[in-house]
Chain A
Amino acid sequence: MSSASSFPRRRVLACGAAFAAVVALSACGAKTDAAGSSEKAVKADVSGDTVKVGLLNSLSGTMAISEVTVRDSLRLAIDEINASGGVLGKKIQPISEDGASDWPTFAEKAQKLIQNDRVAATFGCWTSASRKAVKPVFEKNRSLLFYPVQYEGLEQSPYIFYTGATTNQQIVPALDYLKGKGLKKLYLVGSDYVFPRTANKIIQAYAEANGMTILGEDYAPLGSTEFSTIANKVKASKADAVFNTLNGDSNVAFFKEYKSAGLTAKSMPVVSVSIAEEEVKSIGTQYLAGQLTAWNYYQTTEGAANDRFVKAYKARYGQDKPTSDPMEAAYTSVHLWKAMVEKAGSFDPEKVKAAADGITFDAPEGEVTVDGPTQHIHKTARIGRIGTDGLIEEVWDSGGPIEPDPYLKDYSWASDLS
């Protein structure tokens, strides 16, 4: 008799059932925590000399490569504000939570920050999946989230301020750039979740209206590291360029495979919308040099405000640490919140929101202005080329801030999207 079949069948079943029960219970736990809020919004605790704010980022898991830098940048902004006297005379006390690259965890931690810590506002999230997971929590508790990353648009929450780019400030300008360069046959590669799927829908609509062709569209699960088939498909398609919406360190595996397949920035450039300086550094310039990115800010962006920002960041976290677009947007978001609170004369989310329209800040990316109705900000679009030193050199910009248009109302080809 085989040694394997010596497992008593009933014990296998019992163990399996117990295992399943544990998994189910832990999933339930997360759910009740997220949903079990009280009916009334909890007021932020601003009675003492300090005001608490929440920092909600993935400090572990596949997204940590990106989100840790955002947390560091948020801390820098908070320290700067505290050093210059705080907000409404109160020092900011950050409470940092780890979303662990897991959407239910994000919702649970958001609930904890609002309910237990009674924060006045929360800064963070990166993936759209995490933002979608926390959105109902912030709306139900009527608490504010400042979201610092470019995203797919087509969203408007009364309790979220979007300080990263929406599509008309990043993806559409990137497509305009490619069209201008005559790169008209595209292949789309992305992580399998809300941002890449929505972004690619927008790209499809744009392509149809602008005489471009989409040769293929492939998604890999977030955190996936097996890209040999996708690289083969991309290569066989003979596209002019690849539009890359992969998130996190799937990019490491993708670009390793891309180079192994013999594809280069010359033969088939990749435009990435989620790889910034920090990711470039850890993926390795040997895989990325010459490839394109679309953002609103690079470490190399010129201006006195950026010089100050880069210098302060490096002084605090190390000379070899680059600054990036989401870090800049996160840094800017804290300063914008401060300005809104001071204009409102209150930490109350409703009064802060009412004061938001027209608030400006001399940000490292250039002066930004809050658009009250959409709660987005005016941003300049920039295309950059990754250099062998790991920095990104600007090759094109939109000439000035672009008004946010999250629902792409001003574009006739986008009328079916929202």
Chain B
Amino acid sequence: MTVILGQTFTGISIGAVLLLIALGLSLTFGQMNVINMAHGEFIMAGAYTTYVLQKSIAGAGISLLVALPVAFLVSGALGALLEWLLIRRLYLRPLDTLLVTWGVSLMLQQLARDVFGAPNVQTRAPERLTGNITLIGGADPLTVANSRLFILGLAVAAVASLALTLRLTPLGRRIRAVVQNRDLAEVSGISTARVDRTAFFLGSGLAGIAGVALTLVGPIGPTMGTNVIIDAFLVIVVGGIGQLRGTVIVAFVLGVLQSVLEYSTTVSVAKVLVLVAIVAFLQWRPQGLYTLRTRSLV
């Protein structure tokens, strides 16, 4: 029983990591139709931001808290810059964005290698996050790691803020209008160029937050973005492109699936089985879990 509960929690925590890395991408890829291969490098930028802040601020706990807004701004600014320099010229050529942003991702990796050195680096987790809390005591206790709870909280907070921004704010309404019908939005007086850039800023900023979370799990290196980008794309595609709801559900389902399969088989076999499940699912529903219905002619 404890094992099942423990594994479910592990699955949820893997799901939370997946959700964080996919969330920003669901905005830039899903809502804006830009295949941003550099998204992983924005995650890396967030992680290195945490590292730099930890080097300059003494307390690990404080530096982590400071890192969250700073990483959001750093990665967001990188994203906005990328949008302004390159992507805005390519909105009608979605597949070209793949090649361009792939090039940018390679350049960012090399930049990180030149600035921080090729070997991976680590941050120290705040003492409070290295322990665990006991949910069920007794001879066979169920414990959950504090760092994982923190990441889960972070994921929930990020999803909530994104959902509220999209639903309740004027900016969110404008983003949704542009997604559903770009031309109509434009003639209604919405500056689509500004909306695009802001959406890109938000999506990339969320990548920065994911980078902060990943420093609690493993090492920080120039190629850490490439390691997670495939998972992020999988979550978005299976969830239904542009669908926040689908992203959230699929992230947690894949996380739990991965952890349950990993427990009963091995890490590598579980990875294969998850991919097979995804392929089978996409045969059945090529459009993903959810799809957006609009009257747009595009």
Q: A residues bordering B, Cβ < 8 Å?
A: 1-7, 11-12, 15, 59-62, 64-65, 68, 98, 192, 218-221, 223-226, 228-230, 232-233, 236, 249-250, 252-253, 256-257, 259-262, 282-284, 286-287
Contacts and interface: CB of A to CB of B under 8 A. Distances in A.
When A and B form their complex, which 4 residue pairs have the shortest distance between CB atoms, in order from nearest? A225-B218, A260-B145, A60-B118, A64-B119
Interface string B267-298: 11001000000000000000100011110111
Interface stretch (B61-69, B70-78, B164-172, B219-227): B219-227
A249 B7 CA distance: 24
Contact of B219 (A59, A68, A232, A252): A252
Nearest to B13: A228
B263 A229 contact: yes
B122 A260 contact: no
Given A4-B241, A15-B98, A233-B263, A256 B268 contact: no
Contacts of A98: 118
- By size class, the interface of chain B is 35 or more
Contacts of A282: 121-122
A23 B271 CA distance: 22
A286 B266 CA distance: 28
Given A4-B287, A223-B227, A232-B6, 16 more contacts: A1-B296, A2-B241, A2-B293, A3-B33, A5-B287, A59-B119, A62-B120, A62-B221, A65-B120, A224-B267, A225-B217, A228-B10, A249-B218, A252-B122, A260-B130, A284-B124
Contacts of B124: 284, 286
A232 B6 CA distance: 7
B147 A256 contact: yes
A3 B131 CA distance: 45
Given A192-B267, A223-B227, A236-B3, A3 B218 contact: no
Interface of B: 3, 6-7, 10, 13-14, 17, 30, 33, 94-95, 98-99, 113, 118-122, 124-125, 127, 130-132, 143, 145-148, 179, 214, 216-219, 221-223, 227, 241-242, 259, 262-263, 266-268, 271, 287, 291-294, 296-298
Contacts of B179: 3
Contacts, number: 146
B261 to A, nearest CB: 9
A197 to B, nearest CB: 12
B107 to A, nearest CB: 16
Contacts of A256: 125, 130, 147, 216-218
Contacts of B287: 2, 4-5
Contact of A15 (B95, B131, B291): B95
Given A3-B292, A228-B13, A61 B223 contact: yes
A228 B149 CA distance: 13
Contact of B217 (A6, A12, A220, A253): A253
Contact of A220 (B122, B148, B267): B267
Contact of B294 (A2, A219, A226, A230): A2
A2 B291 contact: yes
Nearest to B33: A3
A260 to B, nearest CB: 3
B132 A262 contact: yes
B93 to A, nearest CB: 9
